[in-house]
Every structure is written in structure tokens, then in C-alpha cells.
Amino acid sequence: MTYYQDENLRIRDMEPADAQILNDEYTAQGWHPDIDYYHMRMREAAEGKCVALTAEYEGRPAGNLYLYFDAQEGPFKGQGIPVIVDFGVLQKHQRKGIGNRLMNTAEQLAAQRSDTVTLGVGLCREYGAAQRIYAKRGYIPDGSGVWYQNRQCVQYETTCTVDDDLVLFLSKKLTD
């Protein structure tokens, strides 16, 4: 299904061929993706657990995200609140509005089920672009503090590593 389209950009459901393209592109920019991960996300979309979105720019996948209809981890777990997971735009396609279009689509889909959408963002500098876009879009910290490996960090007690598993959860009201 296509959710948005203009002359250069199309936001659509992820297709099997996207997995290899995104895997190769993210690997080329120094990330460590796993192609089986994309296939798992598409299976979960087929099961109705999420929507797997691809941003196609000038005919090629340029970014992706997943919208789960019920958060399965973090402070919103099991509350029926949608969560945006693994939002990314290839570096060579950033600053073209692709990320905002992906987020617009995810928020519109989330609003069909809830008045709130959530996400977790990494705290290291590699997530700086994501941190900025979320703040500009009105996402605010939920107040539960920092989480590591799906456990809430406790002051002076939790030991963690600054990696992809160290996150801050944010939420956004979708309606006034």
C-alpha cells in the first residue's frame, strides 16, 4: 500500500526486495544490520502486529520505520499505545524531508488507534539527528528516565554501556 507520494518520494509498505537494498546501504555507511531482522519485521507486519514502512526516494529505498500498535517494552509496555521503532534514513538522503514524511505517515497511522504515540531514542551521538527531529516534532521525555537493555536505570545502581540499548523514551500527543 502507498501512504504518500509526490514526484520524488513514496512512502509505502516494505517489500521483500527492500531488505537486501537497505541491508547493503546501511552496511555501506558503517552500520551492522542483519537481513533476517528486516524479514522478521515484515513477518510481524503480515501478522498485523505492526506496519513496516519504506521511504522510496527516486525509485530506491532511502529509509524505513516500523509502527507497532502496542509497545512491547519500556514504560508503555502493554498499554495499547503505538510505538515507532527503528526509524532511519540513509545518510546520503538525509535533509530532504524524507524522515519527516515517514514520521507523518507513522503518526497518522498511530492516530487511528490512539491519541498518543511513543518511541525510544538512543543517547549516544550517533542518534543526534533522530534526537533533533523528535524534539522538533514535539516529542517529550515520558519521565521514566534512562533505560538500558529494556530495564529502567536506577540512580547509583545500574551499570550500562553507551550503546544502542541505552535509550530515553519519548511520547507525543496526537490530538489536542
Report the alpha-carbon distance of residue 118 to residue 139 in Å, rounded: 8
User: pTM here?
Assistant: 0.93
**pLDDT string in tens for the chain (176-residue length):** 999 999 999 999 999 999 999 999 998 988 888 899 999 999 999 999 999 999 999 999 999 999 999 999 999 999 999 999 999 999 999 999 999 999 999 999 999 999 999 999 999 998 898 999 999 999 999 999 999 999 999 999 989 999 989 999 999 999 86
- Sheet with 9-13, strands from edge to edge, namely 2-5, 9-13, 50-57, 60-68, 83-89, 116-122, 166-173, 140-148, 151-152
Range of the domain at 71: 2-173
* Domain CATH code at residue 114: 3.40.630.30
| pLDDT given at position 96 | 94
- Structural domain total, the chain: 1
